[in-house]
Amino acid sequence: MWVKGVVSAAAVVSACAVLLGAAAWAGDTRWVTVTAQAETEQRQLRREIKKLEIEEEAGTASPTDKAFLKFLQQDLESLKQIDGD
């Protein structure tokens, strides 16, 4: 009779281990996805900022371009602070 109890307990422990492993994997996958998305967004912001800086240095940037450059720089800084970079 105690053998059935031990087997049942082992089955419960095994099932919990499988579920916890799946939850940990899903959490890791979600974190990697969010991190990759944030890095991609920062990379895109840096490219747009660089493009506008080049236009500003060449003297071809409009006042709107210059204002947008400042906005993008602030946006990038706020993303860096959120990510802890």
Query: Number of helices (H) and strands (E), helices first, in the chain?
Result: 2, 0
CA 27, CA 85: separation in Å to the nearest integer?
Answer: 21
Please give the average per-residue pLDDT across 66-76, as a whole number. 92
Q: What DSSP designation does 84 have?
A: T
In 3-state terms the chain splits into helix, strand, coil percentages (rounded to 5) of 90, 0, 10
- Split at pLDDT 50, 70, 90, the class of 15 is low
State the pTM of this model.
0.58
Half-sphere exposure of residue 68: CA atoms within 13 angstroms, side-chain side: 15
Torsion of CA 56, 58, 62, 65, to 10 degrees: -40
